[in-house]
Structure 1
Amino acid sequence: MKNIAILGAGPAGLSSAYELAKISDNFENEYNVVIFEKSSEVGGISKTALNNGYYFDLGGHRFFTKIEDVSNMWNDILKDEFILRPRLSRIYYNKKFFNYPVKVFDAVSKLGLKEDFLIFMSFMKSQMLKRKEISFEDWVSNRFGYRLYSIFFKTYTEKVWATPCDKIQAEWASQRIKGLSIGAIIKRELLGDKNEVIKTLIDEFLYPKYGPGQMYSELAKTLTEKDVKIAYNSYISAITTKENKIVSIVDNNDNEFEIDELISSIPIDDMVRLLNPPNEVLDAITNLKFRSFIIVNLVFDNLVDLKDTWIYIHEPEVKLGRVQIFNNWSPHLVKNSNCSSIGAEFFCSENDELWVLPDNEIIKKAEEEIKKIDLIPDNFKITDAKVVRVPKAYPVYDEGYKNNLNIVIDYLNAFENLQLIGRAGMFKYNNMDHSIYTGFLAARNIAYGKKYDIWGVNQDQEYHEEIKSDKW
């Protein structure tokens, strides 16, 4: 019997255990699987929090994928607990709403003739004087012109990363907004594409009645029924290696476990430090940075007249980055349908000025900023509020990240029974479905003795909000 330890009970970690169970005809006789979860809940950054009867996501998580295996798992676990929701997400800039993804004619109609002229001239310049695509700024400016980039990409991106856009690698843009440019957007708006059917998530999306946490809670129940142990409030404090293998791990209660395989979805820097790496690797991992965020669930005593699921805040005078309207995600998330359940999101770093603010001050700031930009009327009163801090949510693609990551990966690849999965585990900006699929591949590598390319997941993907097909 193989002893398999999985670190982290987020989507990737749970999915690797699920795939092992699914593959095996007689699971309990082949694998002894233990999942170590540092918190008291499963789901990672895809969990759903609860605030006195109001459910809210830690960031919005749509259930959309082009990976059939992932779709099959979702349907196997939740079955008819999905609901189809209308989807509207917009950009809020200069107290006006703009379509997201950006639509040229929508933007032109709202920015004014003078601004339209400047945008046109900027775009023409970008086509005549192409930049070498090193940074995010280069990549977007080549496709939209510098001025439109400044309005619809720069402010929000720098809120998320706290890094100038000319210091963020172009690779991030190519992963997240691939396929978008002024030319491509105009073509779609005017002509469509006769060669393929393009469906975006603008119109509707699938969503669990009670949020993504419902999916992962049900998945955890399924795993428990299959004799997978989930050790809550548990984390690894030490690892013993022998030559090029990890032979045992020690948890925070000083329990030692002999293992044959280790799958890690915990943040890559935490994993590396457990191995007592050489100085070169330690320096590299120290220079890999994550961004965190804070979400504030604000329950107001009236219903806001907005149909958006979420709104990107491009107003530079506030730190508020994104607003979720949970009533529009699912009516089941909201205890009182006459109240508005709002998620105010702030991007930050662990232990920075915002992160260490007391909850009551963060709540006050969230209310002040959301009313300052006129998203919520001044006469709306807060009836309840809750603050959740989410550490290490976003890997930062800064100038030196690729070299540092390659040093770390080369070091970790030397351990033949260690596999990294998930967004934080791989330091890779995966969507939820990509993270799940990395868990599947890690399980298949163990079960079949093969070497599926986990690092190849989410390479050269189509634009992450599009599916090119005649079906979902």
Structure 2
Amino acid sequence: MEKNKSIAILGAGLAGLACACRLSELGYKNISIIEKESFAGGLAISIQYKGFSSDLGPHRISASIPQAVDFLNRQMGEDLITCRRRSHMLLDGRMIVYPPRLMNTLSHFGLLKIARFAGSFFSTRLGRLFSPPQEESFETLMQKSFGCALYNKIVKPYTEKTWKMPAAELSPDVAKARVSAGGLAALARRLFLREQKGRETSLQEFYYIKGGIKNLSQRLKEHLEKRGVQFLFNCGVKKMLMNSNGGWKISCNGKNGNEEVCADFCFSTIPVPELVDAVSAHEAKQAAAALEYLAMALVFVLVDRPRISEDTWLYFPEPSLIFNRGYESKNFDEMMSRKHRTIICLEVTMRANDGMWNQNDSWFASRVCKDLASTGLVKVNEIMDTYVSRLAHAYPIYRRGYEARLDEIFSHLQKFPNLITLGRQGLFHHNNMDHSIYEGILAADYLDSKKEAAAAWYRDAGQFRNLRIVD
């Protein structure tokens, strides 16, 4: 594509920002980024509250994708720091190391229960040899990986609590994408042997952005502005019309009313159902409407204590607790909290159309503080204040059959020769930050090097389903 052609990027999250950076490096001069919020970053932002800072999610960066790590090194330099991973899971009222270690596991479960888990694992495997073939689901794959006993004890309760649906209805892709456990055999190997580099089932250390993930988004924004990239904030995409040359007229709801942006090529990182609606891809609307998202309330709790734990993140599979996971920003970077006080974020998952989503912030704060105190991690009188943030599109839900719906959508989007969708929302994938950065870089390279970039992108889209999330 000619370097003087105009390019629009929908969404200023990490995928869109990385795409713009790469396009600028390749020599493209006329780039606009359209963002419905008043800031850049998408989910890669940090909240600032009463002198404390915490990210929307425990934003860690693995070293699994060299292109993403190289990009971050060039952009952040010494502000890209390394953190040691440490995490625990609250199980049966006790904190156990997660992923499990030998002595801790023996201490918690005892030899008898571990023998029962092992027996269940082998009997489940043997049973499948003599049973009729089953359609694979998250549940069948996890039962095969862990055995029914351990699956029912830990994996199923945590999964159903997090995703708010029966585990049997989830696609096996949920298990294949997230490899923090890896199955009972991998778990057993990890108890006795050191994992090989590049084949880890859990992170031992990770990269982080000094001062919080907001600094990455801000650095990229400033870098792009210096290179002449135009940002249009507070602009929600309403309609996209393709002209006879394949270019786009993009109508937005701006702060000053309706605005229009014309572009020869468009990259979209907005939720794919919204894109389908905007381009009026009528044949794909039914498939797009069937895609589901997990919503989330993030409750930040200010605590009058120097530190709650040394953990980078904590897991809470107990059904009685409203939250699933927690993280203390001080354990990522000491500078994000005050010296004698700390802040912890607890994640509560739900659907955006259910009764919980409609509760007010005070309800979430009260319930989270009550449950947090019940864990023994903090005392009621140590809780100073709370702040609540919400995400309507936190994670795509991989319900069984979602793959066919997604393939149908992409087959229709291929009809638009100058449109590529990417990123967590655009590809409907469980992306880590490094995945989104990588997809942004790759999408720009497709435009620059492929004759029919969009067709090639959708033809190769299956490659992104192989990206692994290492927790």
TM norm structure 1: 0.91
| Cα distance change, pair 297–188 in 1 and its aligned pair in 2 (3 A) | closer
The structure 2 residue matched to 1:320, chosen from 298, 320, 323, is: 323
Q: Where do 1:299-314 residues align within 5 Å? A: 299-314=302-317
Is the contact made by 2:422 and 2:443 (CA closer than 8 Å) also made in structure 1? Answer: yes
The question of 1:98 aligning with 2:104 is answered no
Distance 1:391 1:381 in 2: 27
Distance 1:192 1:375 in 2: 31
Query: In the alignment, what sits opposite 1:206?
Result: 207
Distance 1:164 1:440 in 2: 36
Distance 2:83 2:99 in 1: 18
The structure 1 residue matched to 2:280, chosen from 276, 281, 287, is: 276
Query: In the alignment, what sits opposite 1:187?
Result: 189
Instruction: Give the SS at the match of 1:129.
Output: helix
Instruction: Give the SS at the match of 1:302.
Output: coil
Query: In the alignment, what sits opposite 1:215?
Result: 216
> Alpha-carbon deviation of 1:304?
3.9
Is the contact made by 2:97 and 2:104 (CA closer than 8 Å) also made in structure 1? Answer: yes
Is the contact made by 2:6 and 2:264 (CA closer than 8 Å) also made in structure 1? Answer: yes
Question: Which amino acid in 2 is paired with 1:44?
Answer: G
Distance 1:346 1:133 in 2: 31
Listed one character per residue, the Cα deviations across residues 244-302 of structure 1 (whole Å, up to 9, x for unaligned) are 93431112132222211010000001111112232x42211111001111111110112
Question: Which amino acid in 2 is paired with 1:145?
Answer: G
The question of 1:353 aligning with 2:351 is answered no
Instruction: Give the SS at the match of 1:111.
Output: helix
Deviates more, 1:401-410 or 1:212-221: 401-410
Instruction: Give the SS at the match of 1:46.
Output: coil
Listed one character per residue, the Cα deviations across residues 60-95 of structure 1 (whole Å, up to 9, x for unaligned) are 111223222211111111111133323212221112
Instruction: Give the SS at the match of 1:399.
Output: coil
Listed one character per residue, the Cα deviations across residues 373-405 of structure 1 (whole Å, up to 9, x for unaligned) are 2222233132x3211101111111112312221
Distance 2:351 2:119 in 1: 37
| Cα distance change, pair 254–281 in 1 and its aligned pair in 2 (3 A) | same
| Cα distance change, pair 12–88 in 1 and its aligned pair in 2 (3 A) | same
Is the contact made by 1:423 and 1:429 (CA closer than 8 Å) also made in structure 2? Answer: yes
The structure 2 residue matched to 1:464, chosen from 446, 449, 470, is: 470
Instruction: Give the SS at the match of 1:180.
Output: coil
Distance 2:468 2:260 in 1: 44
Distance 2:244 2:427 in 1: 23
Distance 1:429 1:33 in 2: 27
Distance 1:212 1:89 in 2: 20
Question: Which amino acid in 2 is paired with 1:423?
Answer: R
| Cα distance change, pair 244–106 in 1 and its aligned pair in 2 (3 A) | farther
The question of 1:397 aligning with 2:398 is answered yes
The question of 1:2 aligning with 2:8 is answered no
| Cα distance change, pair 104–127 in 1 and its aligned pair in 2 (3 A) | farther
Is the contact made by 2:429 and 2:465 (CA closer than 8 Å) also made in structure 1? Answer: no
Deviates more, 1:214-223 or 1:439-448: 439-448
Distance 2:229 2:449 in 1: 19
Question: Which amino acid in 2 is paired with 1:115?
Answer: K
Aligned length: 456
Distance 1:462 1:449 in 2: 26
Listed one character per residue, the Cα deviations across residues 81-122 of structure 1 (whole Å, up to 9, x for unaligned) are 133323212221112222323446633430234533432321
Is the contact made by 1:327 and 1:337 (CA closer than 8 Å) also made in structure 2? Answer: no
The structure 2 residue matched to 1:121, chosen from 105, 119, 122, is: 119
Is the contact made by 1:88 and 1:310 (CA closer than 8 Å) also made in structure 2? Answer: yes
Is the contact made by 1:56 and 1:326 (CA closer than 8 Å) also made in structure 2? Answer: yes
Distance 2:122 2:201 in 1: 28
| Cα distance change, pair 204–244 in 1 and its aligned pair in 2 (3 A) | same
Root-mean-square deviation (CA, aligned residues, Å) is 2.2
Distance 2:398 2:199 in 1: 29
Q: Where do 1:429-444 residues align within 5 Å? A: 429-444=430-445
Distance 1:197 1:410 in 2: 34
Query: In the alignment, what sits opposite 1:424?
Result: 425
Query: In the alignment, what sits opposite 1:470?
Result: none
Listed one character per residue, the Cα deviations across residues 337-358 of structure 1 (whole Å, up to 9, x for unaligned) are 2112110110112142222222
Is the contact made by 2:432 and 2:469 (CA closer than 8 Å) also made in structure 1? Answer: no
Listed one character per residue, the Cα deviations across residues 424-455 of structure 1 (whole Å, up to 9, x for unaligned) are 11111121111111111211122223546462
Question: Which amino acid in 1 is paired with 2:57?
Answer: G
Is the contact made by 2:179 and 2:201 (CA closer than 8 Å) also made in structure 1? Answer: no
Listed one character per residue, the Cα deviations across residues 34-55 of structure 1 (whole Å, up to 9, x for unaligned) are 1011111111112111112211
Listed one character per residue, the Cα deviations across residues 162-184 of structure 1 (whole Å, up to 9, x for unaligned) are 11111101122112128822222
Query: In the alignment, what sits opposite 1:340?
Result: 342
| Cα distance change, pair 403–460 in 1 and its aligned pair in 2 (3 A) | closer
TM norm structure 2: 0.91
Distance 1:283 1:221 in 2: 40
Q: Where do 1:52-451 residues align within 5 Å? A: 52-103=50-101, 106-130=104-128, 132=134, 134-177=136-179, 180-192=182-194, 202-242=203-243, 245-252=246-253, 253-278=257-282, 280-334=283-337, 336-382=338-384, 384-450=385-451, 451=453
Question: Which amino acid in 2 is paired with 1:68?
Answer: P
Structure 1 spans left out of the alignment, 5+ residues: 25-29, 466-472
> Alpha-carbon deviation of 1:56?
0.8
| Cα distance change, pair 357–196 in 1 and its aligned pair in 2 (3 A) | closer
Instruction: Give the SS at the match of 2:429.
Output: coil
Distance 2:203 2:259 in 1: 49
